[in-house]
Structure 1
Amino acid sequence: MEMQVEKPVFEPVSVQRKSLLWYKLQKNPMTLVGILLVTALTVIAIFAPCIAPSDPVKINILDRLEAPSVKHPFGTDEVGRDILTRVIYGARLSLGVGITAVVIAGLIGSSIGAVSGYWGGTVDQIIMRIMDIILSFPTLVLAMTLAATLGPNLINAMLAIAVVKIPVYVRLARSEALSVRERLYVKAAKTFGLPDWYIIIRHIIPNTITPVIIQTTLDLGDVILLVATLGFLGLGAQPPQPEWGTMISTGFKHMIDQWWYPTFPGLAIFLAVVGFNLLGDGLRDILDPKSAR
């Protein structure tokens, strides 16, 4: 009689990866908090027209500067607009501009950094010296200067922020590219006569994606703060656009008697920054083995 040996059952690789990911998330509960905050803000931004109780720019002088109540949970502003509605719609502007600026900076910066690190030599020196010049200026000062030069509006503020963030991704991608170009498969591709552009797109850039993704997530909180700061200074979104920084700027003069006016937009900024910072830290721990504690 033949003995039947029970064959080991192996889970699919995707299931194993999901289990490992969930295990790492459980070990870091603050990452789950960050995911919940970012998810909640994203849902609010996407479904703002369905969630908001009124029109964000509708004026009602009779309800001006009302304290928080059942009718207006966050109170009203100086022309009677519902602050809760404006905070909800503000998530669209702040998150939309922040994510777009970071994506633009990440795509351009990682591409330049990959080319710089792969080619090296004079090209690398020229690119890195330009990046050093940009980095020599304080981020906020340079963003203010660019936004003021281009003109005070939300699109120009987004472009200004993207420009000042590009050097971070250039340096990050370059450091990865310097390592990747020495690997055997890259040298083999060169030996077979593959063009540089193909090697950069096929081998260099994909191997710089992970640290770039981590950095973009970490930068989102900082970029949202920059968007709000430029709005507060009058260099970003312009009234009556419901942007958090602009709302704080207008409501700051009412801080003593109508505390709710600047408080709730400020709380929204705080939650957004905390959420993206926690998410970025968690992704760094999960995706980057070197940072495991």
Structure 2
Amino acid sequence: MSSLSAKADTAAQPSRKVNPFWFRIRQSPLTLFGLFLLVMLLLLSVCAPLISPHDPTKINIPERFSPPSAAHWFGTDEVGRDIFTRILYGARLSLGVGVAVVLSAGLVGTVIGAISGYFGGRVDQIIMRMMDIVLAFPSLVLAMAVAAVLGPNLQNAMLAIAIIKIPVYVRLARAETLALREKLYVKAAVTFGIKPWRIITRHIIPNAVSPVIIQVTLDIGDAILLVATLGFLGLGAQPPTPEWGAMISIGWKYLLDYWWYPTFPGLALFLASCGFNLIGDGIRDILDPKANR
């Protein structure tokens, strides 16, 4: 009976060995706050047609520069468009572009870095020298140059940002690959005659993806800011597309007289960037075994 009661007590006690991802997330108030910000922005952007009755691109001159009110929560712009509605639709563009660009750069950079680190030699030298050339330029200056050469539109801005982000993931994946290729299971795979491409895709990349995920979560906020910066400079999304950077670019000229015009798009940009950075810090603390809690 004593042994049965002891087993029952043991079963009743919560297991301390299990540490789920969500449990770790809940231990960080800042990470939860960042998650809350992003969930709210995503919900508002997805439900934009249900929340606001206004058209984000429809011109309404009689209501130009209307202050915040019950009819227009964030006021209107220089041609009478509802700023709140444009921010909601702009969230779709800014968040979607930021995530898409970083995921694409992370995927391409991880594959290239794994190839560079695994094969080494001349292949490694050529790839890394190309990455060094890209990294030699300030990221914003290079993005502006690429976007200006290709032409001012959203697709070219996305390509420009991806180009400056790829070298970061190449170097990160290469460093992980250099350590992984010395592991016994990789050497055993080579001994059994498994082709290099299969080793890279089945053994190297899956085990090198953890630091890449951390970097991706930290880079999304920066990518959103870069998209807005190129839009602010006229090299990103073109009018009348509702994009936060382009709205700030026009609105700052009216800051003194119509403060709401650039203020609310800037606040939305700040909240989105802040949310991704907070989540990135939380995921880094969870996935990085060297992180101190």
TM-score (structure 1 length as normaliser): 0.94
Distance in 2 separating the partners of 1:145 and 1:257: 34
**Counterpart for residue 210 of structure 1:** 210
Over 3 Å counting, the alpha-carbon distance change for 1:246 and 1:183 in structure 2 is same
Which secondary structure does the structure 2 equivalent of 1:145 belong to? helix
Equivalent residues in 2 for 1:55-66, closer than 5 Å: 55-66=55-66
Over 3 Å counting, the alpha-carbon distance change for 1:52 and 1:211 in structure 2 is farther
2:83 is aligned with 1:83: yes
Question: Displacement, 1:27?
Answer: 3.1
Q: What CA deviation, in whole Å up to 9, does each residue of 1:198-238 have, x standing for no partner? A: 00000101111111111111001111110000000000000
Structure 1 portions without partners, runs of 5+: none
2:289 is aligned with 1:289: yes
Over 3 Å counting, the alpha-carbon distance change for 1:110 and 1:255 in structure 2 is same
Counterpart AA for 1:135: L
Equivalent residues in 2 for 1:155-170, closer than 5 Å: 155-170=155-170
Which secondary structure does the structure 1 equivalent of 2:237 belong to? coil
Distance in 2 separating the partners of 1:292 and 1:139: 30
**Counterpart for residue 188 of structure 2:** 188
Distance in 2 separating the partners of 1:29 and 1:44: 22
**Counterpart for residue 274 of structure 1:** 274
**Counterpart for residue 40 of structure 2:** 40
Over 3 Å counting, the alpha-carbon distance change for 1:10 and 1:179 in structure 2 is farther
**Counterpart for residue 16 of structure 1:** 18
**Counterpart for residue 137 of structure 1:** 137
Counterpart AA for 1:255: L
Counterpart AA for 2:150: L
Question: Displacement, 1:38?
Answer: 1.4
Question: Displacement, 1:47?
Answer: 2.5
Over 3 Å counting, the alpha-carbon distance change for 1:42 and 1:124 in structure 2 is same
Question: Displacement, 1:6?
Answer: 5.4
**Counterpart for residue 198 of structure 1:** 198
Q: What CA deviation, in whole Å up to 9, does each residue of 1:117-142 have, x standing for no partner? A: 11111111111111011000000000
Between the two proteins, what is the percent identity of the paired residues? 65
TM-score (structure 2 length as normaliser): 0.94
Distance in 2 separating the partners of 1:196 and 1:180: 13
Which secondary structure does the structure 1 equivalent of 2:98 belong to? helix
2:83 is aligned with 1:93: no
Q: What CA deviation, in whole Å up to 9, does each residue of 1:32-66 have, x standing for no partner? A: 11111111122222232222331100111110000
Counterpart AA for 1:207: N
Count of aligned pairs: 290
**Counterpart for residue 53 of structure 1:** 53
Question: Displacement, 1:9?
Answer: 3.6
**Counterpart for residue 261 of structure 1:** 261
Counterpart AA for 2:236: G
